[in-house]
Amino acid sequence: MERLVARRRLVLATGLIAAAVVIALLVSSNARHAVALIVAIAVAIVGVTTLAIRGFRQAHPVLSRATLTIVVLDAALFATYFFSSITNFNLAIGAAMSITLLGLSFLTGASGQISLGNSAFMGVGALAVAIWANHHTSTPMAVTLLIAVACGTLVGLLLGLPATRLRGPYLAGMTLAFAVAFTAIVNSFTSWTGGDAGLQLPTAVTPPHWLTSFFNAQTSILRVNTMWLADITIVVTAVAFFFMANLFASRTGRAMRLVRDNEVAAELVGVSLPRARVIAFMVSSAYAALGGALWTLINNSVQPPTFSLALSITILSLVVIGGIGTISGALIGGVIYAYSNNVISWFTQHTGINPQSNLASQLPGIVFGGLLIVTMLFAPMGIAGAAHRLRGRRRVHSPE
Amino acid sequence: MIVVDELSVSYGAVHALRDVSFRAETGMITAVLGANGAGKTTLLRTISGLKEPSNGTITFNEHSLGRQKPENIARLGVGHVPEGRGVISEFTVEENLRLGAMMAKVNLTEGLEEQYQRFPVLGERRKQHAAKLSGGERQMLAMARALIARPTVLLLDEPSLGLAPQVTAQLMHTILDLCSSMGLTVILVEQNASTALRIADRAVILYLGRVVANDVASTIAADEDLRQHYLGKVE
Amino acid sequence: MDPFLTSRIVSDILGGLTNGVIYGLVALSLVLVWRSTGILNFAQGAMPMIATYLGMVVFAHRLGYWPLVIVSIVAGFAVGGVTERVLVRHLYGKPEINPIVVMVGFLIVLEGVAAAIWSTTPRGIPNPFSPIDWQLGGKPIALSPFSVYEIVTALVVMIGVAVLFRFTKLGLQLRASALAPEVSRLLGVRVSRMLTLGWILSTGVGTICTVLVASNFFTGLTPQVMDGIFAFGFIAAAVGGLDSPVGAIVAGVSMGIVLQFVGDFVNSNAIIITALIILIVSLMVRPNGLFTKSTARRV
């Protein structure tokens, strides 16, 4: 029976791919487009079919996560071709932010520690990229990103060591102090960090030739550039999420959750409490640094004042609203971050509030703060958590 | 006098007490006995208002206690010395007593002196932090704290827990004294059945939340079967 | 010793003392709310800020400084009480992150509302104390009638709170409600009222502090007026130990003085960096604060 199903699936898949090839050839204006389209559809079909195989997800968890990542990546990269430059830009910024959110979500959800200092870690990553690029212009971008992550991890280690012994409010206090002090530290070394004005990247990130060739001559450089930036960010985001999903399910991840829920039990099992906590801290700072580093690439510059305590609070808020300890929550948070301004301005326009008034300028803050309170009181598991519960409820009621 | 009628208490789906009925008469010691988990502590906590019953009534003289807040029930004159004694370690002996006297319309100095006379050890240690007291001393402090408010009802939850036999014997003697001299209604929960039965007038045995015996203490003490069945090891 | 150096040192001590008592008051109000209800109030600067604005609105300068102060404090009591009843009630017993997030959200909302209604332009509060520093041997020392007013008021409040907690029936009940709520109820203490009272008191203390800060000629009242001070007050509370009112005051005053020296002899950036270092070092030595009696709380 199994083999029959499998063969049928294979036939279906091959048939779909063949149909896709035909359609692609008909639709595309040149060979390049056709090949890209075929590859995109083929990857999607293969990926989805593989995931649909019964028992595949249980038998090969890592591989199935990889497959899912590839399918999603495939769809996203395909979509960026059609998006406007503004959309791609927002997508990139939001995706980078979601990496930072994922790091904090892990720290809070998986290991139960609070941090108000993740904006500073973002700043570390962002500045690392800018400073390194300005002094070593020939380093490939990927390496620079890794350097930024390394810096962030190191700072996370430095802060994580004292953090292991601290309980909730004291930890919050220490990370808050760090966030505030970061601005001062940056201001102390203006020759390196460029002070308030910040630094520019010496060479902007430009798309490779093979990508540019997909567009005709009329397309603006901006359009191609933002697509390329969005693509890079999306790929990095996908890889980061992939690693996190595996980490969460791994022994280390389970150990951390044990530390969060029951310290005594964790110690009995042999988990080193301080070590688990420090590792969690380092992971969250690494991710935050990566997010900040990507921002520098996207913006082609870095402004240190961006990485303030206010940003830290925003990060924590987005994690809470999206859903602590969930992967989808981090993505939701990223989307909210990218589009919140649009939503607010739409709101002010349609409710007749004077856009120049004090109320209008304060509205984002008021709504945001209100959302935080409401979420924490009524839906502490965030949007992702609430969706989870709804789905669970529906499954219970559906006739079996 | 406390009258408990068809009292049922549950924690979610778990029924801790089912249709419990008995009377605790004024001036008498009523022992509540049973194995661990029989519902004895729940009973006391429901009487003093820390837990709400799902069914049934508790009447104290004319007052219906069922759904009142613990602080109001305490102000009616119901003193509850909880499981573990509830002594505030961070306070001194005297601060603990002052707390006990808070709601009562008694003269503080007189009240303190009365307790120091009754429990001289407390008088000696009045300025010490309660954390430094021994088990027996803590029990005395917990009782003095309940007594300083001149209650008419005294609910005692396993006062002999963790105490040496000599200390326990002294404690029981004190309880007996207090009951007769102050005319208290005492409900005494004990795992140590023999100790309780020695000073009690009546006894109620709980088993899995139900009353399985309710009689004069001496009768229950003499019933070997009953004791073996419901009270565990016979001493 | 060099006379300029002496006057500079004296100036720093006095200036630091003035700042320090403010940090100490903020730290004290944080400790009050932590000890009585187990919640870390991130809005500890914002709630009094609203109360002060309310005080200003009601009096609009016409009836003088002291009535404004009194109205603000009363408004502070009200804000504290209402917040506890409506918002904080739902946070007891929840995981540590919940109250922190909710109070941060509350902080953002309050500052936003204040800015929306009254704008971010600083408002001066005319008061009878001159902000001009006195002179010693031709050089200004960092002490003025206004700073003396600040120091004296802060000390009075600190002593008042200490007396309340140690020597009054109310203080006993407040402490008992925080340490052993169930037992306290069995002894007739109206614990939920005590919790509300804890918030009322701590917001009252915070309001006195905010009024002092806002009355400062060089500061004025803005929605963000307490932001930086809250950070330092919070650090002081953490260093001293969230369970220790004495620790809060000592840490606050000490930090005020130390940081004043740092600001003078190094530069202004070094101030918060030093505060961070002090915090990390003290928490490594004693993770629950320097003045907390080390309970057997396992980390």
Widest Cα–Cα separation across chain A: 71
What tokens appear for B4 in the block?
A: 């408990």
Q: A388 vs C47, which has greater pLDDT?
A: C47
Question: What is the reported pLDDT for A2?
Answer: 65
The verdict on C96 touching A (C-beta cutoff 8 Å) is yes
Asked if C271 is an interface residue toward chain A (Cβ–Cβ < 8 A), one would say yes
> Are A120 and A292 spatial neighbours (Cβ–Cβ below 8 Å)?
no
Between A221 and B178, residue with greater pLDDT: B178
Q: What is the pTM for the complete model shown?
A: 0.83
Neighbours of chain C (3+ CB pairs under 8 A): A, B
pLDDT digits (tens, 9 = 90+) for C58-100: 777 677 788 889 999 999 999 999 999 999 988 887 777 888 8
Report the candidate in C215, C233, C241, C207 with the shortest Cα–Cα distance to residue C81.
C207
Mean pLDDT of A161-190: 84
pLDDT tens for A248-296 read 888 777 777 776 666 666 667 766 777 888 888 999 999 999 999 999 9
Give the mean model confidence (pLDDT) for residues C134-141: 75
As a whole number of angstroms, the distance between CA A260 and CA B114 comes to: 50
- State mean pLDDT over A344-357: 71
Band (C187; pLDDT cuts 50, 70, 90): very high
Of C95, C136, C103, C118, the closest CA to residue C33 belongs to C103
Contact across the interface for C180 and B88, Cβ inside 8 Å: yes
Specify the pLDDT at position C81. 94
Cβ distance A365 to C283 less than 8 Å, yes or no, reads: no
Cα–Cα nearest to A297, from A239, A356, A352, A235: A235
**C298 three-class SS:** coil
The backbone region for A167, taken as left when phi is positive above 0, alpha when psi lies in -120 to 50, beta otherwise, is beta
Closest Cα partner for B83 from B187, B138, B161?
A: B161
pLDDT per residue over B113-162, tens digit each?
888 888 888 888 889 999 899 888 999 999 999 999 989 999 999 998 88
A398 pLDDT above the threshold of 50? no
| pLDDT per position as a tens digit, B167-216 | 888 889 889 988 888 889 999 998 888 888 889 999 999 888 888 888 88
H helix count then E strand count, chain A = 19, 2
Q: Could you tell me if B74 and C186 are in contact, meaning their C-beta atoms sit under 8 angstroms apart?
A: yes
Put simply, the answer to whether C186 touches B48 (Cβ < 8 Å) is yes
In order of their start, the domains of chain A are 85-342 (1.10.3470)
User: pLDDT tens digits for A293-341?
Assistant: 999 988 888 888 888 888 888 898 899 888 887 888 899 999 988 887 7
Higher pLDDT, C156 or A138: C156
Q: What is the mean pLDDT of residues C129-157?
A: 84
What's the rounded mean pLDDT across residues A154-160? 91
Return the pLDDT at C209.
Answer: 94
pLDDT of A111 higher than 50: yes
Q: CA B140, B146, B148, B154 torsion: positive or negative?
A: negative
Which of C176, C182, C190 faces B99 most closely, judged by CB atoms?
C176
Chain C neighbors of A263, CB-CB under 8 A: 298
Q: Which pair of structure tokens corresponds to residue C105?
A: 């959200």
pLDDT band for B233, please (50, 70, 90 cuts): low
- What pLDDT band is residue C297 in, cutting at 50, 70 and 90? very low
Residue A43's region, left for phi above 0, alpha for psi from -120 to 50, else beta, is alpha
Nearest to A19 by CA among A1, A36, A37: A37
Report how many Cβ contacts below 8 Å link chain A to chain C.
146
Helix (H) or strand (E) holding C26: helix C3-37
Query: Sign of the C-alpha dihedral, residues A267, A269, A270, A276?
Result: negative
Contact (CB<8Å) C275/A177: yes
Contact C116 A317 (CB under 8 A): no
Is B119 or A61 the better-scoring residue by pLDDT? B119
DSSP state of A353: -
Paired sense of beta strands B202-207 and B29-33, if any: parallel
Minimal C-alpha gap between A170 and chain C (Å): 6
Please report the pLDDT score of residue B232 as a whole number: 65
* Burial tier of B142 (Cβ tally within 10 Å: 0-12, 13-18, 19+): buried
Predicted confidence (pLDDT) per residue in B71-93, tens digit: 999 999 999 999 888 899 989 99
Give the whole-angstrom CA distance, residue A353 versus residue C164: 48
**Residue with token string 């008694």:** B106
Domains and CATH numbers, chain B: 2-86+152-231 (3.40.50.300)
Smallest CA–CA distance from A188 into chain C, residue: C269
ipTM: 0.89
Cβ-nearest to A380 among C98, C289, C298: C98
Both tokens of A361, joined, read 């300028």
Nearest CA in chain C to A319: C101
Give the chain C residue whose CA is nearest to the CA of B75.
Answer: C188
Residue C197 has pLDDT above 70, yes or no: yes
Residue of C nearest to B46 (CA): C186
Closest CA to B43 of B160, B221, B209, B163: B209
The answer to whether A234 and A91 are in contact (CB under 8 A) is: yes
Architecture of the domain defined by C3-285: Orthogonal Bundle (1.10)
Instruction: Assess whether chains A and B touch, using the rule of 3 or more C-beta pairs within 8 angstroms.
Output: no
- pLDDT, residue A263, reads 65
Is pLDDT above 60 for A394?
no
Segment A130-135 mean pLDDT: 85
Q: What is the pLDDT, as a whole number, of residue C298?
A: 32
Label residue C201 by pLDDT band (50, 70, 90): very high
**pLDDT computed for residue A188 by the predictor:** 82
Nearest to A372 among C34, C105, C269 (CB): C105
Q: Check residue A304 and give its pLDDT.
A: 87
Residue given tokens 């605790």 in the structure block: B24
- Per-residue pLDDT, C17: 93
Are B58 and B3 a contacting pair, CB within 8 Å? Answer: yes
Q: Which residues of A touch C270 (CB under 8 A)?
A: 184, 188
Q: Kindly write down the DSSP assignment for every residue of A272-318, as one continuous string.
A: -HHHHHHHHHHHHHHHHHHHHHHHHHHHTEE-GGGSSHHHHHHHHHH
Residues 6 or more apart whose CB falls under 8 angstroms from that of B28 comprise B179, B185, B186, B201, B202
* Cβ partners under 8 Å of residue A369, min gap 6: C104, C105, C106, C107, C108, C109, C110, C112
| Higher per-residue confidence, A262 vs C256 | C256
- Identify the H or E element spanning B154: strand B153-157
Which tokens hold the place of A323? 């859903």
Q: Is the pLDDT at B217 greater than 90, yes or no?
A: no
Q: CA B39, B43, B48: angle at the middle one, nearest 5? A: 150
Whole-number mean pLDDT of chain B? 88
What is the reported pLDDT for A400? 36
Least confident of A365-374, B178-187, C227-236, C285-294: C285-294
Tens of pLDDT, residue by residue over B7-66, are 999 888 888 899 999 999 898 999 999 888 788 999 999 999 999 999 898 999 888 887
Q: What's the Cα-to-Cα distance from A173 to each of A170, A181, B147, C47, C268, rounded to whole Å?
A: 5, 12, 44, 19, 21
CA gap C87, C107 in Å, rounded: 13
Using alpha carbons only, what angle is made at residue A361 by residues A358 and A367, rounded to the nearest 5 degrees? 110
pLDDT interval class at C296 (50, 70, 90) = very low
Alpha-helix runs per DSSP H in C87-144? 97-118
Residue A116 in tokens: 């108000």
Residue of C nearest to B142 (CA): C183
